[in-house]
Structure 1
Amino acid sequence: MEFRRVFLLILGLYFLIDTVNSNHIHFWRRNEQYDNKIIANQFNITEEPLQAQSVTSCGRLCSNLRRSPAFSYMETFCYMYNSKPTDSDIFTTLGGAVYYSEEPNAKSIKGADKMYTYLDGVDLCVQVYSDWRNSTDAAEKCQSDGGHLITLDTTEKLHALSTFVLQKTLYQIGLEKTEGNWRWTRDNTLVFDPSLWYTNEPNGQNSSPPELCGGFCKCGGKPGIFDVPCNTPYPFICEY
Structure 2
Amino acid sequence: MVVFFLFPLFMTAVCASIPCYKYTFERLTTQDDLKAIQVPFSVLPAQNVEYCAHQCADDDKCVSLSHHGGQCTIYRSSLSSSGITVSGSRSYIKQGALPSEDPCPLSQGYTSVLYPRVCYKLYNTDPWKTWAESQARCQSDGGRLIILNTTEKHDYIADLMTQASSTYGALIGLQATSSTSFAWTDGSTFLRTGSTDSHFGSGCAYLAQDKVRTTSCSNKGWSLCEVV
Question: TM-score normalised to the size of structure 1?
Answer: 0.52
Name 1:225's counterpart in structure 2: 212
Are 1:183 and 2:174 an aligned pair? no
Aligned to 1:201: 199
- What is aligned with 1:238? 225
Q: Is the 8 A contact 2:131 2:204 kept in 1?
A: yes
* Richer in helix (by share): 1
Cα distance change on mapping 1:147 and 1:109 into 2, 3 Å: closer
**1: CA distance between counterparts of 2:145 and 2:51?**
32
> What is residue 173 of structure 2 aligned with on the other side?
174
CA displacement, residues 93-131 of structure 1 (integer Å, 9 cap, x when unaligned): xxxxxxxx9514137563313221234442222211123
- Ranges in structure 2 where 5+ consecutive residues have no aligned partner: 1-6, 22-41, 59-93
Taking the aligned partners of 1:145 and 1:64, their CA distance within structure 2 comes to 38
Greater Rg over alpha carbons, structure? 1
> How big is each residue's C-alpha offset from its partner over 1:142-176, in whole Å with a ceiling of 9 and x where there is no partner?
00001110112324234332255222102111110
Paired with 2:220 and 2:147, the residues of 1 have a C-alpha distance of: 18
Contact 1:69 1:102 in 2 (8 A): no
Partner SS state of residue 105, structure 2: helix
2:144 corresponds to which residue?
148
- CA deviations 1:57-83 (Å, max 9, x no partner) are xxx999973379978xxxxxxxxxxxx
Aligned to 1:214: 205
1: CA distance, partners of 2:51 / 2:117: 18
Residue 128 of structure 1 corresponds to which residue in structure 2?
122
Q: C-alpha distance in 2, partners of 1:170/1:69?
A: 32
Q: State the shift of 1:230 in Å.
A: 0.9
In structure 1, distance between residues paired with 2:159 and 2:51: 19
The 3-state SS of whatever aligns with 1:161 is helix
Match of 1:103 in 2: 96
Q: CA RMSD in A?
A: 3.7
Q: Aligned in 2, Cα 1:163/1:122: closer, same or farther, shift over 3 Å?
A: farther
In structure 1, give the amino acid aligned to 2:17: Q
The separation in 2 between residues aligned to 1:123 and 1:63, in whole angstroms, is 27
Alignment match of 1:46 (pick from 1, 11, 19): 11
Q: In 2, are the aligned partners of 1:128 and 1:165 still within 8 Å (CA)?
A: no
The alignment status of 1:137 with 2:133, answered yes or no, reads: yes
Structure 1 stretches lacking a partner, 5+ long = 1-41, 72-100, 206-211
Aligned residues: 153
TM-score, normalised by the number of residues in structure 2: 0.54
